[in-house]
Structure 1
Amino acid sequence: IGFKGLRRLRSSRTLLLSPPPPPVSCAPPRTPSAGSADSPCGQAPFAEKSTLGCQASGAVMPLKGLSWRKGKQIGQGSYGSVFKAQDLDRGLIFAVKQCPQADPKHVEKMKMEIEICRTLQHPNIVRYLGFEDSSGGLFVFLEYVAGGCMSNILHEFGALTSATLRKATRDCCRGLLYLHTRNPPVVHRDIKASNLLVDSDFEVKLADFGCSKKDDCTKSFTTIGSVPWMAPEVILNKEGHGRKADIWSFGCTVVEMATAEQPWGANRFNSVMFALRHIGMTDEVPTLPNDYQDEECRDFVRQCVVRCPETRPRSRHLLTHKFLR
């Protein structure tokens, strides 16, 4: 089965920094060494046009003149490993997502992710800084978010408190509204706690756009995402699915943050096929535990995980819910 959700990706503890660094002078280009955690990486030679198009056409160009070195691996994205990195000239810390050139399919996916990320600018979206294309692979530069991913926070500290859950949900909803109202709109298609990053001030940011779609026609007919967070229409794939599938996954993520467990509960499904059948072909929905006392949160989740996508609220309407006020 070709679902990305069949394998649980390691959490992407990427990303928080500052605005993209301006070009700086550097030594002659050096090829990055993937085998050494502290080996410096320089800008590789480029043809007159980048692999993603020319600057005159508005397409993204590689970040030139940046001298940097790679640190330890801090996560795993949809189509590449994520490392901590440092600008050698100013010492700035950022994150770099690396995709080996030996995997053309993943390189192409990463280029599509770059085309989506390069136009996004919002406090609740991880910031794209640039890219580098060399013999060592395709490197995507992102802001470094010191707190890491939400799933790791849940694993370390347990379920969020009522106040922090409200804050995290509001931040995520704002980021989602920004994506869904872009022109053209962006559908994330893989919202879950491991794709939410948290900075040191508990600002929550949507990350990992490797499964995302940016198009005037938001409807998709591809089964993509992580199974326990998938909307029923994504699994059934009869009439396509779009932004409302993000709302379902968002509701599942709120349950995840409120319980520190997967949205359907720990060890609920003993196989992927059983999970697909249960989510896609029964009338059940993920819910908060019976003893969970925040009724406003319970109602918020209930609205997100309505099985009929047409009756789910949009992100704009969710922001007015009493739980987020």
Structure 2
Amino acid sequence: MQMCPECSADNKDTARFCIRCGAPLRRLRGRGTVLQGRYRLERVLGCGGMGAVYLATDLRLGNKVALKENLDMSPESQNQFAMEARILAHLRHPHLPRVQDFFVADGRQYLVMDYIAGDSLEDLVRKRGPLPPAEAVKWLLQVLDAVQYLHAQNPPIIHRDIKPANIKLGTDGKAYLVDFGIAKVLQAGNRTQAGARAVTPGYSPPEQYGTAPTDQRSDIYALGATLYFAVTGRVPPEAIERVTGHTDKLIPPRSINPTIPPALEQAILRAMRVTPAERFASVGEMRRALNTALTAPSALPQPKSRHRPQRAPSNPANLPATGVSVVAAPIWLRAVAFFLDLLIWGGVSWLVTLGYATALTYWSQQPFWWVWDEMMQRHVLSAMFLGGFFIYRSLMHAAAGRTVGKALCGLRVVNRQGLPCGWWRAIVREIMFSLVWCACGLGIVWALFDPYKQGWHDLAAGTFVVRHQ
């Protein structure tokens, strides 16, 4: 049997796709397989291009462990995996997982490590949106401890794959730096080829693409990019694009999230300089900058102003790191999307009402024309259209950020951080939208003169309607 990398379901050895979820299979071990007579596999925790990680039970000690399997049989990958085991075996730090065992079974390499229950930093931000700056820095300072410990080894160890997905947030309140698959022991004249190919877009510095040797400052770039993601919710643009482009595509963090203190923004941008010499010289220097940023007067809570804060005229959308830009959607295009939705939902309402009338005709044994006339007198079609239209728009905006009409026009609804607006914003927005129409469309007219094209319903919900340029 083999486990599915997505849902951990058991499948036959000859199967190519999972019988439960349809995902392609990777020839992983089956649930219940016991390796070395000691480690019983329970489920798949994660699966990537070169390896998989299982949750396993140590039958000798009775505790849960994380068992990493190398799926790449090439000599280069085998040597890299063995080096990861050697590196981790000699490390002892409260924010690094401990290696408990290393072995080879049926030609595959396995690494047994502490199992850390909890989400990754990436999972947390995807669920909650951008973190408050103080919370993001709290997690990163713990990772900085681990990275400073690695850099202090003799010879120094460079992680080279720091990113939100490799920072596990344990249920014990600690952050752990994991996955040393492409780590490098920094020795004189040591320059590996693996580092030039093993990159994570958005988090790897330019030199890791092969433009220059990697060193401690490569990890500092990745730490800055990780903090950028934590406080903005956006993956930074690829470093190589920032180097080769005519202009730097990195949007300043405060243009996305105005709650970020200016000193913290400066620390992030310095860590992410494309030239290594312009970054922090050490992790210790970066730690001092982050601590200073949070204690600076501008980072302290400020009294609320009676004036409406001015939003930075940057893209309010949560864009991928591909340089795609958006602007506030023009009113005429929003009107087109709205009337498209009216036509679509009107057709759906008519068909549903027609089906309902047909069913009532069958059940009541009355003529169809009589049933239809009775339904019209009771305003069934109107209720279906208006009530259903409200529910349709609320559900679509909350779940997908766009209705069918908006999707056809390339529009979507986002909050101030550029993230999906969520359920309560979607409902507030539709309630206000209904009230605005009852107020003779004054709220819509307001949007004609607003710089961000926000109607009263957008202002009440804190949302924007944007389109791709």
With normalisation by structure 2, the TM-score equals 0.51
Question: Which has more radius of gyration?
Answer: 2
Match of residue 284 from structure 2: 316
Relative to structure 1, the CA distance from residue 96 to residue 299 in structure 2 (aligned partners, 3 Å threshold; closer, same or farther) is same
Relative to structure 1, the CA distance from residue 315 to residue 175 in structure 2 (aligned partners, 3 Å threshold; closer, same or farther) is same
Q: Which runs of 5+ in 2 are unaligned?
A: 7-26, 296-469
Match of residue 242 from structure 1: 215
Match of residue 163 from structure 1: 134
Choose from 9, 32, 42 the match for 1:38: 32
Segment of structure 1 superposing worse, 76-85 or 136-145: 76-85
In structure 2, the residue corresponding to 1:319 is in which secondary structure? helix
Distance 1:299 1:89 in 2: 51
Deviation at 1:159, TM superposition (A): 2.0
Q: How does 1:69-108 map to 2 (within 5 A)?
A: 69-76=40-47, 79-100=50-71, 102-108=73-79
Distance 1:39 1:208 in 2: 24
Choose from 231, 241, 257 the match for 1:278: 241
* Cα-to-partner distance string for 1:295-325 (whole Å, 9 max, x where unaligned): 2321220220123211311101112221367
Match of residue 299 from structure 1: 266
Distance 1:251 1:139 in 2: 32
* Cα-to-partner distance string for 1:242-263 (whole Å, 9 max, x where unaligned): 1111111111110111122212
Relative to structure 1, the CA distance from residue 236 to residue 96 in structure 2 (aligned partners, 3 Å threshold; closer, same or farther) is closer
Relative to structure 1, the CA distance from residue 140 to residue 285 in structure 2 (aligned partners, 3 Å threshold; closer, same or farther) is same
CA contact (8 A) 2:205 2:239 kept: no
Letter in 2 for 1:99: N
Relative to structure 1, the CA distance from residue 130 to residue 34 in structure 2 (aligned partners, 3 Å threshold; closer, same or farther) is same
Choose from 74, 97, 103 the match for 1:132: 103
Distance 1:35 1:249 in 2: 33
Letter in 2 for 1:310: A
Is 1:231 aligned to 2:205, yes or no?
yes
Give the root-mean-square deviation of aligned CA atoms. Answer: 2.6
Relative to structure 1, the CA distance from residue 90 to residue 171 in structure 2 (aligned partners, 3 Å threshold; closer, same or farther) is same
Identity percentage over the alignment? 22
Is 1:192 aligned to 2:158, yes or no?
no
In structure 2, the residue corresponding to 1:72 is in which secondary structure? strand
Relative to structure 1, the CA distance from residue 87 to residue 107 in structure 2 (aligned partners, 3 Å threshold; closer, same or farther) is same
Is 1:258 aligned to 2:231, yes or no?
yes
Deviation at 1:35, TM superposition (A): 3.8
Name which structure has the greater RCO, CA cutoff 8 Å, separation 6+. Answer: 1
Deviation at 1:175, TM superposition (A): 1.2
Give the length in aligned residue pairs: 261
With normalisation by structure 1, the TM-score equals 0.72
CA contact (8 A) 2:134 2:294 kept: no
Distance 1:307 1:247 in 2: 11
Distance 2:240 2:72 in 1: 37
